Amino acid sequence: MLIRMEQRPEPSKSMVYVSPLIAVVLTILTAMVMFEIMGVDPVRAIVTFFIEPISSLNGFAELCVKATPLVLIGVGLSFGFQANVWNIGAEGQLTIGALAGGGLALAFYNDEFALLLPLMLIAGVAGGMAWAAIPALLKTRFNTNEILTSLMLTYVALLVLSYLVHGPWKDPDGQNFPESRLFNAAAMLPVLIEETRLNVGWLLALLVVAAGWVLMARHIIGFQIKVIGMAPMAASFAGYKEKRLVWLTLLISGGCAGLAGTIELSGAIGQIVPVISPGYGFTAIIVVFLGRLHPLGVLLAGLLMALTYLGGDSAQITMNLPNAVTGVFQGMLLFFLLASDVLIKYRFRLGAPSVAKEAGE
Amino acid sequence: MSMDWLVPALLTIITAATPLVFAAVGETVVEKAGVLNLGVEGMMIIGAIAAFATAVSTGSGLLAVVTGAAAGLALAFIFGVLTVYLQSNQVATGLALTIFGLGLSALIGHGYVGKTFPGLPKLDIPGLTTIPIVGPILFGQDGLVYLSVASVALVAWFLSRTRGGLLVRAVGENHDAAHSIGYSVTLIRMAAILFGGAMAGIGGAYLSLAYTPLWVENMTAGRGWIALALVVFASWKPWRGFFGAYLFGGITIIQLYAQGMGVEVSAQFLSMLPYLATVIVLVIISRDEAKARLNAPACLGKNFHASG
């Protein structure tokens, strides 16, 4: 063979950070080829997708609004993914969290009191945690695969939402539209910049990033999570309680997703609607990998992924492209990232392996 | 009580079960080879749109099924290159496949919303198909239903009775041992992955050609994931997976007939049944940890690199 893959003596630290950049560049190049095939001017499409959306103050505010749920969920998931706990049902936890927080707003729709908003946020966290507690219980008690259970529960959660907005929670004065009443002012997160939708939710997301970073880098829990992910045997010898960490990582990720759901309602939407999230819970999975399972990386990756949502909208409006392009971009980015990650552990060499070197290995 | 409902009910069970049979039997082979491909949902949906687009533009059901299979296979090829050759994490790559498949299918399907296709032709043997009850069920199906049963029989036979099947199981149980006696782990796994992709593609094709012959975004609605659960439920045995799929078909039917029978439950709660049933089934099957581990291929989810 002319090119062969050779294991590095130890994983390359620089490649950990270079690989996402390679992935982004390859995604953009492939996207340009794709646009060319679709008969769209590739340069114009890329500008519409990645530059136009953030060339105004309002665009920039929208970027942060869209990044808020992605960053929140991403930070939560990064704990589980490090410990090999694969919660892929964040979309469902977001939905149940939103219903818990939003339900509270509806219950007090004509009582404006200052505590309403904090109570809603707490209810959102609790709702998301409760939904994530089901796969945690099933995994620790019955050894059930959390990937499948958390995903099945996502479908259940979306049906609960559909039931509520079409039934008991429908606005009684709303001409039969499947939407709830509008939340009152006390249930809405304060806006940070006038005339935009940028709200305090973004600051909460930044706070969670900071808390996540402290927990991961400076706390014994973060250390235990990393050990259990990298060397499960060592972790059990050290006496770390695996079941406790399964519970912990699922509750953290569920709580973050639930918080994201409530913030989405009380920051951006203002009522309960049939579709609360355009798949933030799934996109956050890409955010976690792109952000290298690190809270600060998740912040940057969340902003980039938020841009693909805005880009999809702007390409739909100005170029009449279907906004499904966003999903293709996101999937492609993750493919290229996973492929480039091979460079962390392996390097490519030209030519056949020398016998002497083989013997030495 | 009249039995008029029986035949339509059984026919609905068959149509609901068939896409699951295809996807589950394909994934059984993949997992037997030690590879966990979580991208079944993505491969199914891409199979569904590829088949539907072909059916609408050519009118040929056969060509549509072949295109569906090829589309699933193409996606599986990406998964194979990434996991088998580039050693990427199988869980993450499978998820990427699903996200990518859902996005790409929506992009391609954009122009096919609202188009229709008459559906696949059904077998009609004079004298046999008209036999009450048994006739329409055994002799009145479309080609894919028969193919699904045949593929289960073939895969069951292949895995347990042939040399090729032994090789697949060998790389799934102990890839280092299989490698050391001179078998190509990478090629065998790649072949299994491609087979799984083609089967998932046909399962998706069945959805858009026969189950509901039209294109709707996200029309797989989690069936790829249910198929994954079925493989675990069936302890990686093809025939058990087949019966599991029919069990799920039966649950789908409760959903359709409960309202007809005047049961006062919201449609949303009935739609939850297949997902809740999946969770319950998984709990029952995984409860006994030692037994669950014994059934699973030992190298499931582990990557292989020759020099490693």
Q: What average pLDDT does the segment A265-294 reach?
A: 91
Give per-residue pLDDT as tens, B90-120.
988 998 899 899 999 998 998 898 888 888 8
pLDDT beyond 50 at A358: no
Note whether A159 contacts B287, CB cutoff 8 Å: no
- Give the pLDDT score at B14: 92
pLDDT beyond 80 at B147: yes
Contacts of A339 in chain B (CB under 8 A): 81-82, 86, 88
Task: Identify the three-state secondary structure at position B142.
Answer: strand
ipTM: 0.88
Under the banding of pLDDT at 50, 70 and 90, the label for residue B159 is very high
How far away is chain B from the Cα of A194, in angstroms, using its nearest Cα?
A: 35
d(CA A103, CA A119): 11
How far away is chain B from the Cα of A19, in angstroms, using its nearest Cα?
A: 13
pLDDT beyond 60 at A359: no
Contacts of B91 in chain A (CB under 8 A): 86, 147
Higher pLDDT, B196 or B3: B196
- The predicted model scores a pTM of 0.89
Note whether B283 contacts A160, CB cutoff 8 Å: no
Under the banding of pLDDT at 50, 70 and 90, the label for residue B3 is low
Task: Identify the three-state secondary structure at position B156.
Answer: helix
How far away is chain B from the Cα of A191, in angstroms, using its nearest Cα?
A: 33
Under the banding of pLDDT at 50, 70 and 90, the label for residue A133 is very high
Give me the residue label for tokens 């953290």.
Answer: A252
pLDDT beyond 80 at B211: yes
Nearest to B41, CA basis, from B20, B11, B55: B20
d(CA B195, CA B184): 17
Residue of A nearest to B103 (CA): A327
Nearest to A279, CA basis, from A90, A125, A101, A124: A90
How far away is chain A from the Cα of B272, in angstroms, using its nearest Cα?
A: 6
Phi, psi of A348 (to 5 degrees): -100, 135
pLDDT mean across residues, chain A = 89
Q: What is the DSSP string of A178-235?
A: S--PPPPGGGSPPBSSTTS--BHHHHHHHHHHHHHHHHHHHSHHHHHHHHHHH-HHHH
Contacts of B38 in chain A (CB under 8 A): 147
B126 contacts: CB under 8 Å, gap ≥ 6: none
d(CA B59, CA B107): 22
Contacts of A346 in chain B (CB under 8 A): 87
Note whether B99 contacts A152, CB cutoff 8 Å: no
Residue pair B142/B269 in contact by the 8 Å Cβ criterion: no
Longest CA–CA separation in chain B, Å: 69
B232 contacts: CB under 8 Å, gap ≥ 6: A145, A148, B282, B285, B286, B296
- Give the pLDDT score at B242: 95
How many other C-beta atoms are found inside a 10 Å radius of the C-beta of residue B247? 16
- In whole angstroms, what separates CA B46 from the centre of its chain? 13
Contacts of B99 in chain A (CB under 8 A): 282-283, 285-286, 327, 330-331, 334
- Give the pLDDT score at A1: 53
Q: What average pLDDT does the segment A79-106 reach?
A: 94
Note whether A324 contacts B38, CB cutoff 8 Å: no
A330 contacts: CB under 8 Å, gap ≥ 6: A283, A286, A305, A308, B99, B100, B103
Nearest to A127, CA basis, from A279, A263, A283, A244: A263
Q: What average pLDDT does the segment A116-122 reach?
A: 95
From the list A143, A153, A167, the residue facing B266 with the nearest CB is A167
Host H or E run for residue B57: helix B40-58
pLDDT beyond 50 at B12: yes
d(CA A261, CA A96): 8
Contacts of A335 in chain B (CB under 8 A): 78, 82, 93, 96, 100
Contacts of A345 in chain B (CB under 8 A): 87
- Give the pLDDT score at B111: 85
From the list A5, A142, A328, the residue facing B100 with the nearest CB is A328
Residue pair B49/B215 in contact by the 8 Å Cβ criterion: yes
- Give the pLDDT score at A357: 47
Of A320-329, B34-43, B65-74, least confident by mean pLDDT is A320-329
Give me the residue label for tokens 């304060």.
Answer: A190
d(CA B2, CA A26): 63
Give per-residue pLDDT as tens, B164-209.
999 999 999 888 888 988 889 999 999 999 999 999 999 999 999 9
Give per-residue pLDDT as tens, A210-256.
999 998 888 888 888 888 777 777 777 777 778 888 999 999 999 99
Most confident of A242-246, A261-265, B217-221, B276-280: A261-265
Instruction: Tell which phi-psi region holds residue A227, choosing left (phi > 0), alpha (psi between -120 and 50) or beta.
Output: alpha
Note whether A338 contacts B93, CB cutoff 8 Å: yes
Nearest to A124, CA basis, from A332, A17, A272: A272
How far away is chain B from the Cα of A243, in angstroms, using its nearest Cα?
A: 14
Note whether B289 contacts A282, CB cutoff 8 Å: no
Residue pair B190/B84 in contact by the 8 Å Cβ criterion: yes
Contacts of B23 in chain A (CB under 8 A): none
Nearest to A121, CA basis, from A32, A214, A200: A200
Residue of A nearest to B285 (CA): A144
